[in-house]
Every structure is written in structure tokens, then in C-alpha cells.
Amino acid sequence: MENRLCPICSRQNNPQDTHCWFCNAELPPYTPGEDQPTDWLEELKNTDLNLEVSSSPIENNQDQNRSEKESEEFTPNWLQKIRSREASDREEKKANEERYWAEKRSKEGLPDWLRSLNEDANELNSIPEETKPDVEPEKEQPIESLKSDEGGNSIKADDWLDSLKTWQEPAEEKTEISSSQTENTPVASSPEEVPEDSQPLSEPGEDFDLNKIFLLSEEKSNQELSSNLPVEEEKKDELIEDQTILPEGFNPLDQLFEPIEDAAKSDVVTTEKEIADIESSKTLDSSPFLKNLDDVLPFDEFDQPLEQKEPEPKVEFEPEPNANLREISSEPSPEEITPLPVGEVKPFAVDMEKVASPFTPEETITEPFKLDDLPEWLADIKPGEKPSTPVKPKVRRPVVDDGTPMPEKGKLPVWLDARRPVEAVDLPIAIERPKPGEIAVEGEEVSKIPSESAIVAPAITGTPSELGEGLRVSNRQKTNAALLSVIATSVEPVEVSAGATVKIGNQSVWRSLLAVVFLLIAVLGGTILKDYYLQPELFPEEVVHTFTLVNTIPLDKPVLIAGDFEAGFAGEIRLTFQPVLEHMMRRDLNFALMAINPVDSALLENQITNGMTAVPSFDSASKVVDLGYFPGGAIAIQNMGNSFSNAVRLTADLVDTSTHEITKNVHLLSDFGAIVVVTDKSENARVWIEQIQPGLGETPLLLVTSAQASPLIIPYYKSGQVDGLVSGMPGGMIYQKILGSNTGGFESATSMQLTLGLMASLVLIGGFVSLVLPKTGGGKRQ
Amino acid sequence: MTFGPDFIWIIVSFILTILVFSYFLGDHAIFRFVMALFIGVSAGYIAVVLIFQVIVPRLVVPLLSGSQLALIPLLLSGLLLLKLSSKFSRFGNIPMAYLVGVGAAVAVGGAVMGTIIGQVKGSWNEFFPSTGGSPFLAYLEGGFLLIGTLATLAYFHFNGKKGNTTGGKRNMMMSIFAWIGRIFISITLGVVFASVLTAAATALIERTDFVVRTIQLFTGR
Amino acid sequence: MKSPIALAVAVISGLIVLLGYFIPSPMLADIRTPMLDWAVILSGVAGLVAIIHLVFGVHSDRVKKEGARQWFSLVVILCFLLTLVAGLFLEPTSPIFQKVVTYIQTPIESSLLAILAVTLSFSSLKLLQRQRNWMGIVFFVTVILFLVINSGLLSFTDRIPILRDFLSGLQLIPTAGARGIVLGVALGSLATGIRILIGAERPYEN
Amino acid sequence: MSSAEQIIGFSIVVFFTILVIIFSTKAVRNRYPPIFRKIEPFNRLKRAIGMAVEDGSRLHISLGNAQLTDPANTSGLVGLSALHRIGQLTSTSDLPPICTTGSGGLLVLSQDTLKTISIETNTRAFFDANHAAMTGATPFSYAAGIMEFIDNSGVNGNVLIGNFGTEAGLICESLNKARVSVTGSDSITAQAIFYAATQDTLIGEELYALPAYLAAGPGYLASLRVEDIFRMVIGGGMIAGAILKIVGLI
């Protein structure tokens, strides 16, 4: 092989080049016997996947040289054109390079910040002895070239673009290192091992630093921000560090889905026309994917867009798209950073990774593709497992790029297409053919979104649809998108309920009918059938015990009634608590009402008023004190457990509790005759049991709860932590029966039994029907 | 029944119940109207309660009585109110930090002292025979509960083996326990769900009963 | 904005309150009790801030915009103002003002809960379609069984000792399951709380 | 509360903290990389996040109605962490997530979180304080408010993480139109309702793992590992105590 490989971007250059024609990185000295770099996919296939080269739709040739020859043999016209254009461009570049070298030689030294960057980069690049590959000197080169790149950035492009480049490089570099490692190691590692393997490389060897771990270097000075590069280097470290801890589905794309990430990166660079053009043409030479896809997709499919792209006029550097690009990559430009207050800008690298992380193939994988990683992805394409439906070229085929991409409203911008999360591909939609005559952006067919689904944020002027203007998608992206389509067609489409709307309509009818049945039963049970209910054979022990305890409450001590329930449960609580309250009123006990929930003060007062109709002798004015709303939830209850008089100083009428007739002798909760907690939630009850009960001594803790809380409270009653329990309407009815009163509830007993019976039948029928019907992807998905 | 203010309130209550029940026919404008009313009224009520039963007795009264300690919550409250301003909202970070810090401590304290120690002790107590009960039965019951609790805990075990960071699998032993735990969890959730349905059914019956009674009141039957 | 003061406030206040759980020192209690009181006050003020934002932020914004939500927000604002004014004049302990709860809030909330009876039953119809696995089937059977038990239709089993013991034993299972769930939740709470107390999680910063 | 219990409690807190810090260090993470079991709802959530970016729809995160002074607040705080992470992940979408709560404290925190996201991801133009709201002051009005708040907001995925009660059933009603709804609560009642009414329910402690599974940071991963260790310790303590109880030593 005559060409020289760039250690940064892994692309081939002429042997005489000193700098990479694509990324301007310094090339290592040329050695005639230099090995071809292995790409990870090739390795993957050799080791893990065992794909049969001949049969796989994405087959990769084992013999790189052979593939080169083949590609030369079949070089189509369009490729020849591109290459001839490349040649002319190279000549132009050469002149620039010479100028650059001269400049570089004239430089006496590097600025401090760049030197430190170099050190950092070396540290980053340092490889443990045992794993250090032989090609280390070559690997040192990229850093050098990176340095020189940065040094010369004033020549080339604007600052932000350079910073973007440097940002890209660590990932590339890392891939390079890992591929070199595997090249030198007999036992090839799978791509998912790459981060682990390369982890030590990225480790600066520092010990635990809480700030770094948790804060991700949040305190950045303005100086650091403006000088960008050292910061970038730090972020690089973190980026690499985080790669090891990212969970499934959030591995950075450069590890898991390198080609797409590359494409995305190239996207960022496309604003510089030369790079963009070369990128697109060179991709055809070097991308393993293209070689694979050559078998799947006829060359003429790629022909058209490239030919159209070629005569494209030079794109001017426009500030607006650049700003958008910054947003895409989450890279704040220096101009944008400057006005920000110190510390408001998060480290870029971390953010970028975080932002990019959903676009990993893993998720795709969960549902339509059943893949966990890129390698597994490919693993799913078994030898000979070509798509059952032959790929329709027109569907996958990149459409004309007229050089002025104007994404339509409601469609994703090109850059997002390039970075789009694979898992989000709604396959039936994704392979939809563009409408005739529709001018679509390249690669758009993969990400075609129905316009009705795109909702534009109100009051936001610049949507990403607009932000995507002026961007182009490289051929690498196109090939990757095409690859996805190939894979997509081989996977069963996601089940989409076609008649969702109809079903929803039907559902509301069924639900209305069901509601009518429920209401009818409730009405009939409360009127005509009200005497036909089944009486319990035995009274529950806890209710009987509660009744006994209420009978033993000393008359000289007040009872604390704490309401901790929602207004929605007031009906059920009334039926449950009314007989207990009536019993206590009959005993002429004093009450202190406390509302843990703001509405309970009113509801408890209301129950006292109702009780007075049954017990008219009860004088609520002198027997009841309203302590009002007691805010603070659990901590307030805990405080009250420590000292009631300190925690509750005032009544609802702002009278001091220590002077009030009913509460003046109460200092601790144990000074009450009984604590009655009325609640609808088991969690609330648990707070009372855990925080209050241990300090109550002889004072009984009685719980009156909604039916929904009872299953989780009964164990506390059985273990003796709760002294009495009345729960739900049935509990209230039994208490009424023991008390010999009628506070309501008996009239509803039949309704209750019939309603619950109906519910049980419905669940049963629904269950059996469900077993017959196919499983849904989830009710919510409809 | 006299046609006094209470009667008007009952009519209001009746109408509101019917309007909410109209949701059975679908989500429509009238139902939305009631929801808007509900949101507005409940927000107003809570605001009044917060002012009169939290701010006044706990902040204003101590301040008026000359407590200098009350100046701290006053200052913090003032800073917190700045959260309403987009310009000065950052000054509200300090009271929020205070609130979050205290909240976290309460959560940690409650989790450790209330739940972890409380529940572990509770599981021990299951082995204590109740008065007059057979010790063997208590051990059997306690053992059953202990296995159930341990299995449920095993279900939540996150560490796995083989695979990437969040794609691992449980080991064999843990899988068996987790399977048992899953049964316990299912039964627990099933029992609680049945109880929720019971509570909801009670509300349905209570409301239907109210509607029927009110209609009877109107018709004089 | 990252502020070391906010971090210090969160960590120190949290640690003081937390230590109060473990160290029974009267001096610590003297500091801790007012600190908890302040938290309660701040929680109330935060509630007010949220209500003001809801009414004069979210809903008043919507009133200004054209659309179907306009009238909805208008009703919210009017009802809020009416209730607030009434409350400020009458005070919350007034029996008249309390009718807001007993005759407006309670019927609406109870009716919403009643609606749940139907909607949850309806959801349960498709339960096994969604959760067709062992866990779903056990859940399904349990729901049916306990609905029947709660209805009282099995009250005859009280006379049959074996059945009575079986049903009583069945009710032990939720105890074990709930204990496991509660312990798990406590571990999660502990982890979350500790992350905040060591400053690893700072939701209060912007 | 006995002093022995207080010592045990204090030890639990101290050791838990130390272990979280140790497992957060790079050295430990690299030497013993964490591997956690697969939890299907999280995969669906990741997919929903991707979908939200893809099809220009929103994600709605609801944090429940726990007060910050309540021990149940941690589930809401976990919801906040999830909001933060989801906000970062969907920052390339033109519709940032919206957030609803039923508690004042959580509202303020969620607004701060949304603001932080907008700063971190350079999307301040998209920040709107009204994207977070306390939709109602009581649990039921909060649920009713959610119905209205997310209606016509382009919401196609919901994440309900926090403390809920029975109102969870009402909230589920408003989720029906969404593609994915991941739900979790520390309340057993809400868990039961979610399990019956939604597809992707996180049971118990699983909800606390959400930020870790969304790769929110090493602290979250470390917490999960320490939780596992303490789960073992608790299990061991229960068994040991039971034996001692049977023997009659305690």
C-alpha cells in the first residue's frame, strides 16, 4: 500500500504529504512496510461475529489490499472526477503547507498554555507498559500534530472551529490507539471492550477528588473559558473517564457507533468547504461501510448526489449557521461564553457527551433491533441473513442535494438526521418513500417524520429546523443511514396500532356503559336491594378492641384527634369515623382537633357538627379545641412526639395552648387520654406509629383509616404497635353495630358488596379475554 | 328541610358532583370548567391556610413578640420570595439549600431510625409468640415472613454479572430469590390495589347515595 | 449559579438536623428544634411561591394568549381570587369559609375518587394484556381474591376454621412484601439523602 | 429510642457515606466497573427520550406532591435528578421537557433545574419558567391540573417519579395518549395503581436507580452499589436477629 494513513482521522494520504489533507494533522514519517490500520469492524467480524464475508449484506473484506484493488477496478466516473478534483486541491494545499511548515520552524517555543496542553495530551496518551503497542511513536504524532494545528489555527479557520476540531480528536485518537492495540495483540478485542482497554490511557492517575467526581469542574474562570484549549483538554479527560461508567445505552458514539459519530463530526466540519468535499469523497475510499454497501447498493445510487454536489459553489462562512453548529455540538463559542457569569457554563465535553448519549444504538436495540451494542447489532445480522425483503434502492437512496438544503417545517434538520438516535426510528415511517417531486435533503428518507407530529415550541424564534440550514450531510452519513435501512428492513416493524383512534372512541363508549352499570348498581343497592346484604359472621378483633379501648379512656384527659386525610376520602372517613366519634361524644370526652392536612380542620369540625345531631348533649364549644393546621408533616409529628407543648404553642384561634382549658395540662403526647389518627394513607399511619408510638406509654394509639390503608396497617396492629384499628366502611358498620347506633352505612352495605363483586367479575373477565387476545405493547402506546 | 344557606350549599355540591360524573361521558368543556374551579378554589384555600396558620403564628407572632431568632426565617422567607423574580431568583438558592439540606436529613434520619431499624426489629418480633400462642406457629409465621422479606429485598438487588453497565443479569442464587420476591411483591401490590378499588368504590357509593338523597329532597319523597 | 454558600448551608443545616437523630444532646436539640421550625415556615412560603406562580405566572400567561385554555385559566384565576379574598376577610376558622372545603372541595374530590372506581376497573380489564407474565398473573388473581374478601361475600368462611386460617395466612404475605418494599425504599432514600448531604447532588443551584 | 439503636443508626449513615465516596472514586470504578441488571422500563425510557428528540415531542416529568420537609421527599428529588438528565439528553430537541409537581418546594427546585439545563446545554432561548408548574395545591387538584397542563403540549412521553397517593389513578387517566409512561413511587398505593394502569412501572427501590441508569454521574452508580451492600447487611441482620430471638438471647 502506497498511501499514508493519518493517525488522527485514519484517512489515506499521498506518501509525499507531510500533513493530512483532510484534518491537517501532521503525518508520521513514511515507512514503506507500514501496516494498514485495522478498523474495528473488521476486527469485530474476525473475532466475534464470524460473519461470512460473502453472504453478509454489510460484508467486510478480510483482505484490505484486495478490497483496495477491487475498488480501483470498479472506480466509477463520479469517483474519478472527485479524485481529479482532489488532486488539484492537494496542489493548492501543498503550497499552504509549506508556508505553514516554515512558520512552524520559525517558532521558538510554544506558549505556556499550549505546553501544558501537550503535557496533558501526553499523559492522556501514556500507555501502560504491558499494553503499550509498538506503534507508540506514531501515536505520539497526533498530539504533536494537534499541537501544531492549534498553533496554526489563526491561519486556518476561526477559533471555534479549531476548538471543535480539537474536541473531536481525542475520540479519534482513542479509537486509533485501541485499534493499534488490537492489531498488535493476537487476541482481538471486541469494540465494546475498547473503552475498558483504553481506560488506563485516559486516566491521569489522580486520586479521589470529590469536586471532580461530582461537580465536573463547574468552577471555571473566565480566563479558562476564553483560552478554551486547556479547558478542552480537561474535559477530554472527563469525557474519557465517563465513558467507562456510562451505562448501557449511553456509551459515546465514538466507541459504539463510530461511523455515525464520524459522520456527525464531519458534519461539524462541513462549514469549511474544502474539508467537506474531501471528506465526502474520501469517505468513499476509506469507509469500510461503503465497501460493504457496495454489494448492497449499486454505485449509481450514490452517483447522483455526488455529481450534483461537485459543482457546488464555495460556501461562505456564515456566522449564523456557525452559531447553530455550536448549539448542535453544545460547544459554546468564546463570543458566547464571554458574557456569561462565571461558572455558568458547564464543561463542554461532559455536556456534549451527555447530550449525545441518547443517540446510541443500544436503545434501538431494545425494541426494534434487539441489540445491545453496535457489535451485537451487527451480530444480529447472521451470515446469510439478508433482509427477507430486498432493499428497495429508491427508498434508501440518497436524494438530490442541490446545495441549498432547506429542511421543511416539521422535519428534522440535517444535522439532527445525522445524529438522530437510531432507537427513535419509527421504522414504518423511516422507510417511507419521499413524495414524488419532493426535494429532500440527503439522508432524509431515514428520518422522515410526519409533519403533524412535529410541534413547534411557541414563542421560540429559532427552531432547530431553521438552525439546520446550510448544513450538509456527508456521504459517510448517507452510507451509515443506508446501512441502518438495510438493518431496519431485516427487522420486524414495530407494532403500531393502526386503529388507535377508533379504539379510543370505542373505549370511551365502553367506559360510559361501565359507569352506567356501576351507578345503577350503587343506586339499586342503596334503595331497592338495601336489605339484601351479607352480614359478617364474626366481628373483626381490631374493631372490638378499639371499642373496648374507647370505653376505657379516662374522662379527665382530652383525646387528640389528628386528621391526616384528603378531602376526597371525606365520604369514606365519615362512614368509618362517625361511629367512633359518636362513641367518644357519648362518653363526653374532651377533644383536641389537629389537622395534618390543611383541609382536615374543616372536615373534622364538620364531623363533630354531624355527631351533635346524634348526641345533642355534647357541648362542642367547651369540649372541643381546634389546634388548626399543623404543618411540617413527619418532622412536625416527630417534634410533637418530643414535646407537645413546645411544638403546638397556639390554637387555631391563636390562643396559647398552655392556657387553654382543654390543653393546659398536656405537655407530652402521653398526657392525652388517647391519640386517634384518622388517615387515608398507610404511609401517614406509619409515620405516626414510628415517630409517636414509642413515647406514648399507656396512652393508646387508635387508627381510623380508609380501606386502602388497612392491609399495610393490620401487621402493626398484630405486632401491638397500634392499639386499635377501624378501617373502611365495613369497619365503621361493625363499630356501629357494636355501638348500637345508626350513623349511616348500613344502607350502602348492599351497594358495596355488589360493586366490589362487579369489580371482581370485570377483572376476571378482562383477564380471560386478555389471555385470548394478543399481548399489547402497552396500553399507553396506543 | 328549610331553604336556608345550607340548602344552597347542598345544591352547589349536588351540581358539582353531577358535573364531575359527566366525565363518564368523556373529557368535555363542562368537566374542564369544574376542574378549573377546583384548582382555583383549592389554591385559594391553601393560600389562606398557609397565611393564617403557618406564616402568622410561626413567623409574624414571634416577630411581634420581639423574638430576634425569628429574623432568620424572615430573611430566608424574603429571599425565597425572590424566586418569583427571574432577575433575582438566584438569591433564593440559599433558603432552598436550607430546605433541601434539612429535608435530606429528615429523610435519612427517618429511613434509618424509622424504617430500617424499625422494620428489622419488626421482623424479629414476628418470632415472638403472642400471648397463649404456640411458639412453633410463631416461628413458622416469622420464618415465612422473613423469607418473604428477604426475597423481596433480593428482587431489588441491582448488581449483575456479564454485560455492560446496565445490561447485566442476576446470578443464579439471586435470580431464585428474586423470583420468589416477585411473587410476594405481586401479592402485596394486588392486595393494595384491591383496597384502593374498595376505597374508590366506597366513594362512588357515597356520592351516588348523596345524589339520590338530594334528588329525594328536591322531589320531597 | 454555583454558590459555595448554598452548598455550605445545605450541608451544615442537614448535618445538624441529622445528628439530632443520633446524639441525644439537649444543646443540639435547642439548635435543631428552631431549625426544623424554620424549615416548616420555608416550606409554607415555598407553597405560597408556587401558588403565586401557578395563578399569576402560568394561568395569567395563558389568559393573555388566544386559545381554548384562555377561559380555563380565567376561571382558575377568578376562583382563586374569590376564595383568597373570602379567606382573608373571614379567616380559615370561620364556619362559612370552611364550607369551601365541605361543599366544594369535598364533593369534587370525592367524585373524582368515584370516577377512579370506574376508570381503574376499566384499566384492570386490560391488566393481563399489559403484564402478561408471572407477576401479572399473580397480581391479577390477588386482586380478584381480595376484592371478593373485601366485599364480605366470603363472610361464610368465618365458620370454617381451615378457610379462615388460610385467608388469615394469606394476609400475612402483604406484610412481608410491604416490608421488603419499604426497606428498599428506605435504602434509596438513604442514598439520595446522603448524596445531598455530601454535596454530590445540588438541586438548589442554578 | 435506645442508645444502641442510635449508635447502629449512626454507623449505618457513616459507613454508607464512606462507601458511596469510595465507590465514586475513579480508581475503584476502573478496577471494579459496575454492572447492573437490566431494567426494562429504563430501556423504554431511553427510547422515549430518543423519540422525543426525533419526532419533536415533549417529555413530561411529574415529581409528585411530597413536601421537602417530609421523609418522602427523596423520591421527588430523584425525579428532579431524572428531570435534569432528561433535560440534558433532549437538549437537541426544540421542545424541552415540562415538569409538574404538587409541592411548592419541588416546584422551585424544578424551575431551577430547568434553568440549569438551559445554561448547561446552551439552550437558554428555550427556557421558560412556566414549563414547570405546581398544577394544583392539593393532591387531587394537582392531578386535575396535570390533565390540563399536558394537554396539547405535544407530550408524548411521561415520567412520573415521586410521592403520589390515590390521585395517581387520575394522573394515569391523562397519560393514556402518550406513547410511553414510566412510573414509579415510594408509596405502595401509588405503585399498585401504576402497576395496574401503566405499562412501565418501577417497583419500590427501582425508582431510585433512575438517574444511575440514565448515566447522571458516578455518585448515582456508587449509591446503587452501596445500597446492594447494605441490602445484604440488612438481610444478614434480620436472619441473625431471628436466630437470637429463637434462642432467647434478645
Q: Using alpha carbons, select from A646, A660, A642 the residue that is nearest to residue A696.
A: A642
- Whether A550 shows a pLDDT value over 90: the answer reads yes
Place of cell 445484604: D232
Task: Determine phi and psi for B121, rounding to 5 degrees.
Answer: -65, -40
Spatial contact of A6 and A23, defined as CB atoms under 8 Å apart: yes
Q: Do D188 and B123 touch (CB under 8 A)?
A: no
- The Cα-based distances of A414 to A160, A406, D91 in angstroms read 21, 9, 16
Looking at the complex, does the CB of residue D44 fall below 8 Å from at least one CB of chain A? yes
Give pLDDT, residue B131. 60
> Subunits touching B (CB < 8 Å, at least 3 pairs)?
A, C, D
Give pLDDT, residue A481. 61
Looking at the complex, does the CB of residue A340 fall below 8 Å from at least one CB of chain C? no
Q: Using alpha carbons, select from A473, A469, A428, A419 the residue that is nearest to residue A448.
A: A428
When pLDDT is averaged across residues C152-164 and rounded to a whole number, the result is 81
Strands A12-13 and A4-5: antiparallel
Please give the angle made by the CA atoms of A125, A127 and A129, to the nearest 5 degrees: 160
Is this complex's ipTM strictly greater than 0.90? yes
Give pLDDT, residue C105. 94
Which grid cell sits at A315? 460556501
| B 6-25 near D (Cβ less than 8 A) | none
Q: What span, in angstroms and rounded, lies between the C-alpha atoms of A426 and A447?
A: 8
Q: Where are the domains of chain C?
A: 1-90, 95-123, 131-206
Looking at the complex, does the CB of residue A513 fall below 8 Å from at least one CB of chain C? no
Spatial contact of C198 and D17, defined as CB atoms under 8 Å apart: yes
Percent of chain C exceeding pLDDT 70 equals 99
Spatial contact of A526 and A747, defined as CB atoms under 8 Å apart: yes
In sequence order, the β-bridge partners of residue A703 are: A677, A725
Q: Give strand ranges (E) for A531-680.
A: 559-564, 591-595, 624-629, 674-679
Give pLDDT, residue D161. 93
| C 115-154 near D (Cβ less than 8 A) | 115-116, 119-120, 123-124, 127, 130-131, 139, 143
- Whether A232 shows a pLDDT value over 60: the answer reads no
In sequence order, the β-bridge partners of residue D37 are: B168
Sorted by sequence, the CB contacts under 8 Å of residue D132 that are 6+ apart come out as D98, D99, D100, D101, D107, D110, D111, D113, D114
- Facing residue for B24 by CB, picked from A246, A512, A687: A512
Looking at the complex, does the CB of residue D130 fall below 8 Å from at least one CB of chain A? no
Looking at the complex, does the CB of residue A730 fall below 8 Å from at least one CB of chain C? yes
Q: Do B104 and D70 touch (CB under 8 A)?
A: no
The reported pTM is 0.70
Chain D, nearest residue to A468 by Cα: D92
First to last CA, chain C: 5
In sequence order, the β-bridge partners of residue A704 are: A678, A726
Q: What span, in angstroms and rounded, lies between the C-alpha atoms of B183 and B189?
A: 10
Q: Which amino acid is at D11?
A: S
Q: What span, in angstroms and rounded, lies between the C-alpha atoms of A429 and C188?
A: 40
> Subunits touching A (CB < 8 Å, at least 3 pairs)?
B, C, D
Which 3 state secondary structure label does DSSP give A648?
Answer: coil
Give pLDDT, residue A749. 86
Greater confidence (A371 vs D79) lies with: D79
- Which tens digit of pLDDT belongs to each residue from A84-95? 666 666 666 666
| B 130-189 near A (Cβ less than 8 A) | 163-167
When pLDDT is averaged across residues C45-69 and rounded to a whole number, the result is 89
Q: Do C174 and A771 touch (CB under 8 A)?
A: no
The C-alpha of B99 sits at a distance from chain A's nearest C-alpha, in angstroms, of 12
Residue-level pLDDT, tens digit, chain D, 250 residues: 678 889 999 999 999 999 999 999 989 888 888 888 888 888 888 888 888 888 888 899 999 999 998 888 999 999 999 999 999 888 888 788 999 999 999 999 999 999 999 988 888 888 888 899 999 999 999 999 998 888 777 788 899 999 999 999 999 988 867 778 899 999 999 999 999 988 889 999 999 999 999 887 888 999 999 999 999 999 999 999 999 988 888 7
Which 3 state secondary structure label does DSSP give A373?
Answer: coil
- Whether A305 shows a pLDDT value over 50: the answer reads no
Which grid cell sits at A342? 462565571
- Whether B179 shows a pLDDT value over 50: the answer reads yes
DSSP annotation of A311 reads T
- Whether A177 shows a pLDDT value over 80: the answer reads no
- The Cα-based distances of C153 to A617, A755, C64, C118 in angstroms read 39, 11, 56, 21
Sorted by sequence, the CB contacts under 8 Å of residue D211 that are 6+ apart come out as D78, D81, D82, D85, D217, D220
Place of cell 350502602: A748
Looking at the complex, does the CB of residue A769 fall below 8 Å from at least one CB of chain C? yes
Q: What span, in angstroms and rounded, lies between the C-alpha atoms of A427 and A395?
A: 12
Place of cell 374543616: A602
Q: Which amino acid is at A54?
A: S
Task: Determine phi and psi for D32, rounding to 5 degrees.
Answer: -125, 80
Most confident of A232-241, A265-274, A743-752, D87-96: D87-96
Q: What span, in angstroms and rounded, lies between the C-alpha atoms of A41 and B122?
A: 57
**Least confident stretch, A35-49, A629-643, A701-715, A716-730:** A35-49
Greater confidence (A515 vs A135) lies with: A515
When pLDDT is averaged across residues B195-211 and rounded to a whole number, the result is 94
Chain B, nearest residue to D35 by Cα: B165
Spatial contact of A333 and A354, defined as CB atoms under 8 Å apart: no
Contacts of D13 in chain C (CB under 8 A): 18, 22, 190, 194
Please give the angle made by the CA atoms of B11, B12 and B14, to the nearest 5 degrees: 60
Give pLDDT, residue A138. 39
Which 3 state secondary structure label does DSSP give D185?
Answer: strand
Residues in chain C: 206
Chain D, nearest residue to A683 by Cα: D187
- The Cα-based distances of A73 to A85, A86, A296, A297 in angstroms read 19, 19, 18, 17
Task: Determine phi and psi for A12, rounding to 5 degrees.
Answer: -90, 145
Give pLDDT, residue D222. 93
Sorted by sequence, the CB contacts under 8 Å of residue A782 that are 6+ apart come out as A497, A500, A503, A504, A776, D176
Q: Using alpha carbons, select from B26, A713, C112 the residue that is nearest to residue D167.
A: C112
Give pLDDT, residue D169. 92
Contacts of C190 in chain D (CB under 8 A): 12-13, 16, 227, 230
Place of cell 404475605: C173
- Whether A55 shows a pLDDT value over 70: the answer reads no
| B 61-90 near D (Cβ less than 8 A) | 80, 83, 86, 89
Chain C, nearest residue to A728 by Cα: C150
Q: Do D69 and A634 touch (CB under 8 A)?
A: yes
What stretch of H or E contains D156?
A: strand D155-163
Which grid cell sits at B209? 347515595
Task: Determine phi and psi for D18, rounding to 5 degrees.
Answer: -60, -45
Contacts of D118 in chain B (CB under 8 A): none
Q: What span, in angstroms and rounded, lies between the C-alpha atoms of C185 and D204?
A: 6
Q: What span, in angstroms and rounded, lies between the C-alpha atoms of A421 and A419?
A: 6
Q: What span, in angstroms and rounded, lies between the C-alpha atoms of A637 and A564?
A: 11
- Whether B82 shows a pLDDT value over 90: the answer reads yes
When pLDDT is averaged across residues A377-404 and rounded to a whole number, the result is 39
DSSP annotation of A369 reads I
- Inter-helix orientation angle D3-24/B117-125, to 10°: 120
Contacts of B150 in chain C (CB under 8 A): 180
Contacts of C54 in chain D (CB under 8 A): 133-137, 145
Chain B, nearest residue to D224 by Cα: B158
Q: What span, in angstroms and rounded, lies between the C-alpha atoms of B20 and C77?
A: 20
Looking at the complex, does the CB of residue A245 fall below 8 Å from at least one CB of chain C? no
In sequence order, the β-bridge partners of residue D133 are: D100
Greater confidence (D95 vs A303) lies with: D95
Q: Using alpha carbons, select from A491, A433, D103, D192 the residue that is nearest to residue B193.
A: D192
First to last CA, chain B: 12
Most confident of A59-68, A256-265, A496-505, B97-106: B97-106
Give pLDDT, residue A96. 65
The C-alpha of A508 sits at a distance from chain D's nearest C-alpha, in angstroms, of 12
Longest dimension (CA), chain D: 68
Place of cell 427501582: D206
Residue-wise DSSP of A250-305: ---HHHH-HHHHHHHHHHHHTTSHHHHHHHHHHHHHH-HHHHHHHHHS-HHHHHHH
Give pLDDT, residue A102. 55
Task: Determine phi and psi for A678, rounding to 5 degrees.
Answer: -105, 115
Residues in chain B: 221
The C-alpha of B219 sits at a distance from chain D's nearest C-alpha, in angstroms, of 33
